[in-house]
């Protein structure tokens, strides 16, 4: 009962109307690529400064209820010595942690990938809890083509996601289950919808087998989008309709909340799509955001690694969070944003 109460308390703190999640859990390689775009070296100090900037943004808790951190960040401190998870919590933002250890090629399945990190996970979760983490995230990725993902990849990744989620709940940590159908490639929106439906069915079958309590987990899917290089890019309303349709066929109503990843979308596209999704018809779950690049890109461009730009960067982050908070309510106005840009 104590574990159930802890899980429910975390769900209640995260699932709030008009609020979403900030994904600040980039691996060392990914954040190095992001920093390279602004000519900043990816040192531990620069990463600490950047994530301190994000978490200390005044008012961020109005629109962001949780933050997904990288393991390094859990142990870092703000300039005044306050642990970064504590800094987030003081803003009313629940600290979480990415627990998978990345993806590798799936053996005997050319072109497919599998996510690692189950070994020793229970022990790591106890350590992360002591550092302030209350929820976790595990990402599985699915490459798309006429033949990918293979049945093996769909089943293997679903099994890993479910095992991870079960281990988290046993430890009193809320799991975010993230199956990402990648935007990379030249596939149509029809192919994306087909793959997404197959993947999500398999994930929830696996979660059921592992007795994962749906009320005590969060779901982080990708939206149904054509591949980046496909000739006909879908309109905002089509993306919303296809996405909600697939979710309705695959995601049980008991799931506590759906927090979309942004993938390769621009900040504006991610907001517009989320807004349209929330303006569609019948849906049993809260639909919000768990964005990384789509929240961080504008403040990163404003910061450029310079202390004198911190306030401007924080203002850019707060504005992007505000717009996504509006989109989570179906109140985002793309024309208004374009006029003020």
Helix (H) / strand (E) containing 218: strand 218-219
Spatial distance between the Cα atoms of 237 and 264, rounded to a whole number of angstroms = 18
Q: Concatenated DSSP letters for 4-46?
A: HHHHHHHHHHH--TT-EEEEE---HHHHHHHHHTTT----HHH
Query: Is residue 220 annotated as a catalytic residue, yes or no?
Result: yes
Q: Which of 26, 113, 159, 178 is catalytic?
A: 178
Q: Answer yes or no: are the C-beta atoms of 146 and 183 closer than 8 Å.
A: no
Q: Answer yes or no: are the C-beta atoms of 66 and 14 closer than 8 Å.
A: yes
| Cross-strand pairs, 135 | 96, 174
Output the CA torsion 176→30→66→118 (10° steps): 30
Query: Is residue 178 annotated as a catalytic residue, yes or no?
Result: yes
Q: Which of 19, 98, 137, 220 is catalytic?
A: 220
Exposed, middle or buried by CB within 10 Å (0-12, 13-18, 19+), for 333?
middle
Output the CA torsion 141→143→146→150 (10° steps): -50
Exposed, middle or buried by CB within 10 Å (0-12, 13-18, 19+), for 27?
middle
Catalytic residues: 178, 220
């Amino acid at each position: 009962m104590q574990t159930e109460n802890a899980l429910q308390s975390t769900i209640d703190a995260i699932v709030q109307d008009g609020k979403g999640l900030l994904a600040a859990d980039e691996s060392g390689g990914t954040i190095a690529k992001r920093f390279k775009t602004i000519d900043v070296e990816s040192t531990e100090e620069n990463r600490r400064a950047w994530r301190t900037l994000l978490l200390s943004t005044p008012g961020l808790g109005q629109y962001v209820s949780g933050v997904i951190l990288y393991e390094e960040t859990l142990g870092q401190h703000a300039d005044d010595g306050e642990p970064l998870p504590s800094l987030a919590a003081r803003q009313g933002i629940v600290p979480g942690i990415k627990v998978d250890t990345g993806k590798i090629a799936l053996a005997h399945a050319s072109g497919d990938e599998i996510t690692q990190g189950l070994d020793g996970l229970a022990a790591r979760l106890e350590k992360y809890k002591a550092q302030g983490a209350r929820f976790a995230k595990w990402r599985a990725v699915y490459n798309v083509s006429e033949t990918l993902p293979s049945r093996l990849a769909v089943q293997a990744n679903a099994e890993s996601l479910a095992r991870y989620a079960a281990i988290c709940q046993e430890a009193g940590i809320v799991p975010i289950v993230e199956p990402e159908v990648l935007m990379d490639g030249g596939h149509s929106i029809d192919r994306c919808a087909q793959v997404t439906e197959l993947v999500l069915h398999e994930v929830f079958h696996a979660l059921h087998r592992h007795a994962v309590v749906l009320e005590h987990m969060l779901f982080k899917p990708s939206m149904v989008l054509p591949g980046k290089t496909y000739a006909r890019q879908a309109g905002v309303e089509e993306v919303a309709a296809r996405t909600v349709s697939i979710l309705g066929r695959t995601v049980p109503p008991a799931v506590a909340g759906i927090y979309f990843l942004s993938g390769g979308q621009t900040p504006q596209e991610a907001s517009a799509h989320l807004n349209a999704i929330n303006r569609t018809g019948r849906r049993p779950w809260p639909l919000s955001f768990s964005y990384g690049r789509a929240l961080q890109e504008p403040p990163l461009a404003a910061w450029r690694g310079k202390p004198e730009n911190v306030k401007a960067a924080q203002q850019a982050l707060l504005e992007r969070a505000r717009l996504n908070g509006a989109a989570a309510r179906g109140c985002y106005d793309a024309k208004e944003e374009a006029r003020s840009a």
